[in-house]
Amino acid sequence: MKNRLIALLLLFTVILFSSAEAQTTARKFEVGKNSFLLDGKPFVVKAAELHYTRIPQAYWSHRIEMCKALGMNTICIYIFWNIHEQEEGKFDFSGQNDIAAFCKLAQQHGMYVIVRPGPYVCAEWEMGGLPWWLLKKKDVALRTLDPYYMERVGIFMKEVGKQLAPLQVDKGGNIIMVQVENEYGSYGTDKPYVSAVRDLVRESGFTDVPLFQCDWSSNFTNNALDDLIWTVNFGTGANIDQQFKKLKELRPETPLMCSEFWSGWFDHWGRKHETRPAKDMVQGIKDMLDRNISFSLYMTHGGTTFGHWGGANNPAYSAMCSSYDYDAPISEAGWTTEKYFLLRDLLKTYLPAGEALPEVPAALPVIEVPEFHFTKIAPLFSNLPDAKQSVDIQPMEQFNQG
């Protein structure tokens, strides 16, 4: 009798775990009529844009929890090619660069993930995420069908696929959408190139979730591909109906999404800190939710562009600050703001029946740096060797300098 009872318990355990696994692996995110569908039910994406590169790994969990407590259900991330392949052919997805760990952490907190692997991502990041060593090939044509460039893009995408394709939602992970290129309509018109990038994204293993492309309402048709979802980017104060007017005319039954709703703006050296009114941001999100429009808030938490990874606009040349605070709801230091609580008050009214927002995580402790004084200097030019004339000035990349 005892052995029979043990056998029955084991059988029940196997059935229970098999059922749980089936429920996990059978999840499906897809495009429905005027709505995204999760397991066949309407689903509004409320995404918070975070960049793993701009948040120390020890703080990843805290920032994701902050987004969850804000009322978001998804985390949106760029993949920064040049931080993963700093030397040609040498990839690093460990530690601070462990994108799979970041996505799994989001899943542990009940959050879905949207992946934006570029290859160009902009993001006010050095060379828009493209590796410096591409420029060692003097005739390279970036963001085109240049054979060398596309070969390297393909290699990079396959490496990203190894990390993240197994984490698609139908495989038990939490990745629900993947983006192809990034705002290419603001750069040029080249459908064959965008099509080739789409194919590389699919070949890297992202075949089980919808692929999309993002642009502005003024140029999204420049490179629009029939088999991709079209989304638009705009900021606070925009007229929501006007932003989606053309898209609704061309695709009256497509789910609508603002793939970047700009909460603030980035800072340049030598200029004042950029800010945008909190009430305008909240009103814009309310207008979208009332119309069943999904969104990703860029940025929900900007963080810091550490080291030499800050990008620049050109022309005219204007460099970005290390701070990527972005006047976001979660400050650069990870603190709550007026924007945070105004948005939280809004989003808690759009929760599914029976759900409540978790408590806002406590701010992490900070250290105090004691006052100190500089007493020595090392003038640059007096410490350089004697100057040598050259008639053939070469770019820094030709000397293996990124």
Q: Is residue 214 part of a domain?
A: yes
What tens digit of pLDDT does each residue of 108-118 get? 999 999 999 99
90, β-bridge pairs:
87
Q: Is residue 190 part of a domain?
A: yes
3-state secondary structure the chain: CHHHHHHHHHHHHHHHHHHHHHHHHCCCEEEECCEEEECCEEECCEEEECCHHHCCHHHHHHHHHHHHHHCCCEEEEECCHHHHCCECCECCCCHHHCHHHHHHHHHHCCCEEEEECCCCCCCCEHHHHCCHHHHHCCCCCCCCCCHHHHHHHHHHHHHHHHHHHHHEHHHCCCEEEEECCCCHHHCCCCHHHHHHHHHHHHHCCCCCCCEEEEECCCCCCCCCCCCCEEEEEEECCCCHHHHHHHHHHHCCCCCCEEEEEECCCCCECCCCCCCCCHHHHHHHHHHHHHCCCEEEEECCECCECCCCCECEECCCCEEECCECCCCCCECCCCCECHHHHHHHHHHHHHCCCCCCCCCCCCCCCCCCCCCCCCCCCCCCHHHCCCCCCCCCCCCHHHHCCC
Instruction: Show Cβ contacts of residue 235 under 8 Å, excluding neighbours closer than 6 positions.
Output: 261, 262, 263, 265, 276
Contact 209, 166 (CB under 8 A): no
Q: Are strands 257-262 and 229-235 parallel, antiparallel or unpaired?
A: parallel
Question: Quick one: which of 211, 208, 207, 210 has its CA closest to 195?
Answer: 211
Residues of the domain holding 309: 42-379
Q: Is residue 387 part of a domain?
A: no
What tens digit of pLDDT does each residue of 160-187 get? 999 999 999 999 999 999 999 999 999 9
Mean pLDDT lowest for which of 324-328, 346-350, 387-391? Answer: 387-391
pLDDT value at residue 112: 98
Handedness of CA 215, 221, 224, 226 (dihedral sign): positive
Mean pLDDT, the chain, integer: 93
Distance, in Å, from the CA atom of 94 to the CA atom of 90, rounded to the nearest integer, reads 12
Q: Is residue 217 part of a domain?
A: yes
pLDDT value at residue 390: 85
pLDDT surpasses 80 at 324: yes
pLDDT-derived band of residue 387, with 50, 70 and 90 as boundaries?
confident
pLDDT-derived band of residue 3, with 50, 70 and 90 as boundaries?
low
Q: How many domains does the chain divide into?
A: 1
Q: Is residue 386 part of a domain?
A: no
Q: Is residue 334 part of a domain?
A: yes
Q: Give catalytic residue positions.
A: 183, 260
Task: Give the domain CATH number at 216.
Answer: 3.20.20.80
Torsion (CA) 204, 208, 214, 220 in degrees, nearest 10: 100
Residue 336, number of CB atoms within 10 A of its CB: 17
Q: Is residue 25 part of a domain?
A: no
Q: Is residue 121 part of a domain?
A: yes
- In the chain, the amino acid numbered 311 is G
What tens digit of pLDDT does each residue of 233-256 get? 999 999 999 999 999 999 999 999
Contact 131, 122 (CB under 8 A): no
Distance, in Å, from the CA atom of 336 to the CA atom of 333, rounded to the nearest integer, reads 9
